[in-house]
Amino acid sequence: MSQKLIEDITGREYQYGFTSDIESEAFPRGLSEDIVRMISAKKNEPEFMLEFRLKAYRHWLTLTQPVWPNVTYPDINFQNIQYYSAPKQVKKLNSLDEVDPELLRTFEKLGIPLSEQKKLANVAVDAIFDSVSVATTFKKKLFAAGVIFCPISEAVHEFPELVKKYLGSVVPHTDNYYAALNAAVFSDGSFVFVPKDTICPMELSTYFRINTEGSGQFERTLIVCEDNAHVSYLEGCTAPQFDTNQLHAAVVELVAHENAVIKYSTVQNWYAGDPKTGKGGIYNFVTKRGKCVGRKAKISWTQIETGSAITWKYPSCILIGDDSVGEFYSVALTNHRQQADTGTKMVHIGKGTRSTIISKGISAGKSNNTYRGLVQMNKSAHGAHNFTQCDSMLIGDRCSATTLPYIDVRNGTASVGHEASTLKVTEEQLFFFQQRGIRTEDAMATIINGFCQDVFKELPTEFAVEATQLLGLKLENSVG
């Protein structure tokens, strides 16, 4: 088939590739025990945090960089990364309007107004610039409702008991190479605590933005819902265009107690690198895990992965409480030279636990898109059930999609269902649209929307439209 049309529509370029001219304060490149101590000191952390970091750092030293089977990239030089970079702010801010206007403008350009006058209705936003939280909206209103939503650097000071209790309880520093690294050097992230019987009154959202070249971004997010508490949280990510690849190694931990519901959504649009060479894109090695500790707890991951040069990410659920529920809804789009190896792990421990996995992989250009998922039914998981559906969509014929479902059932009463399909978007389909007067961009958006419906409907409504547009943009031709 002729490649022209497909190339036209998949050729669109990244629109968030600008850098902002903001003075930043950064540490020298490289990692050592001194750097770890400096980070902790810089943030004035209590002793327990320094110990947490040092323990992780020492463990990290014993590990070697993992070699992931389905993605390839040159070795990362960990001594060439800057582990702390923060916008320079002279004094403590009393209100959002005191934030550097250049910073506010940056976030506005990204579609996230932070200032008091313009902030999004009914969505509280925590904005993270390089490694540091710069602003959190609706803080007071949330606090009145009993919900804590603040930078984790602040939580360490204000709620040390909660942090001590839960930090590392889901993803210990021994979990993997990047989790250890993150525990040692993380500089900020969001902390959410929803107390017993509380329904969080609005969407919570964090926007991550990398701005300084050569700086790694290691955020740490911790969300805890006590009994019968509910929260819906969304993270969004963008980065400027650089020539050198940026490392992003975040850790997200979720804890859901009895009957609690945590809904975690991600719209990831990190810079994917030069379309032709893949140079400069973000390496996204992220560990995300939720633990349903209590009975009937529910954790739901929804992710729209569109950016990054390399994505390596498996948001997972550990279903401990009886009748607890884990869900994973994912759209992963790869184009040009992008590589994504993403999926989930559902570990069933409690009786009657249920999980659902819906994964939609869209590949275009010369990209490679792998779904890797593990469903594990432990001996104790009587009557547990999983349903998995993996659909792949191929645009053009130089891309690839791989589906690797691993199933491990150790309980005879547990059941597992799996469905898979592959859809090819052909030029004949696109021509059919055109012949009816519909532009290819709109056709693409419509086809993708149809393909991803099952996942999009899980997104908070405020972001469903945004996600559709984002995917459309990713595949559109820049000359409309």
Partner 1 sequence: MLQINNLIAQIEDQTIINGLSLTINPGEVHAIMGPNGSGKSTLSKVLTGHPHYTVNGGSIQYDGQDLLEMDPEERAIAGIFLAFQYPVEIPGVNNESFIRMAYNAKRKARGESEVDAFDFAQLISEKLKLVEMDEEFLSRSVNQGFSGGEKKRNEILQMAVLEPKLAILDEIDSGLDIDALRIVAEAVNKLRTPDRSFAVITHYQRLLTYIVPDVVHIMVEGRIVRSGGRELALEVEERGYDWLTVAASAE
Helix (H) / strand (E) element for 468: namely: helix 461-475
Torsion angle defined by CA atoms of residues 19, 12, 305 and 453, in that order, rounded to the nearest 10 degrees: 140
469 binds partner 1 (CB under 8 A): no
Quickly count: other Cβ atoms within 10 Å of residue 449's Cβ: 15
446 binds partner 1 (CB under 8 A): yes
Question: In the range 411-430, which residues lie near partner 1 by CB under 8 A?
Answer: 423, 426-429
477 binds partner 1 (CB under 8 A): no
21 binds partner 1 (CB under 8 A): no
- Specify the residue, 10 or 269, whose C-beta has the smaller distance to partner 1: 10
7 binds partner 1 (CB under 8 A): no
Structure tokens that stand for 89 in this block: 């702010």
Stretch in the footprint of partner 1 (CB under 8 A) among 145-153, 331-339, 409-417, 450-458: 450-458
Locate tokens 């052909």: which residue?
A: 426
CB 242 within 8 A of CB 280: yes
Among 416, 447, 470, 475, binds partner 1 (CB under 8 A): 447
Among 61, 93, 438, 465, binds partner 1 (CB under 8 A): 438
- Specify the residue, 253 or 391, whose C-beta has the smaller distance to partner 1: 391
How many residues line the site for partner 1 (CB under 8 A)?
A: 23
Q: How far apart are CA 168 and CA 252, in angstroms?
A: 10
- Specify the residue, 4 or 91, whose C-beta has the smaller distance to partner 1: 4
Q: How far apart are CA 133 and CA 209, in angstroms?
A: 10
436 binds partner 1 (CB under 8 A): yes
Q: Give the CA distances from residue 176 to residues 37, 66, 183, 273, in Å, rounded to whole numbers and listed in that order.
A: 22, 9, 11, 26
- Specify the residue, 70 or 389, whose C-beta has the smaller distance to partner 1: 389
Among 162, 434, 466, 477, binds partner 1 (CB under 8 A): 434
453 binds partner 1 (CB under 8 A): yes
CB of 466 to partner 1, least distance (A): 20
CB 373 within 8 A of CB 406: yes
Stretch in the footprint of partner 1 (CB under 8 A) among 274-282, 365-373, 394-402, 431-439: 431-439
Structure tokens that stand for 301 in this block: 């991951």
Among 2, 79, 95, 117, binds partner 1 (CB under 8 A): 2
Burial 211-226 (b: 16+ CB within 10 A, else e): bbeebbbbbbbbbbbb
- Specify the residue, 194 or 447, whose C-beta has the smaller distance to partner 1: 447
Q: How far apart are CA 67 and CA 127, in angstroms?
A: 32
Stretch in the footprint of partner 1 (CB under 8 A) among 31-39, 97-105, 448-456, 469-477: 448-456
CB 296 within 8 A of CB 265: no
CB of 362 to partner 1, least distance (A): 12
- Specify the residue, 5 or 404, whose C-beta has the smaller distance to partner 1: 5
Residues 6+ apart with CB under 8 A from 89: 99, 100, 134
Q: How far apart are CA 442 and CA 79, in angstroms?
A: 45
Binding site for partner 1 (CB under 8 A): 2, 4-5, 423, 426-429, 431-432, 434-439, 442, 446-447, 449-451, 453
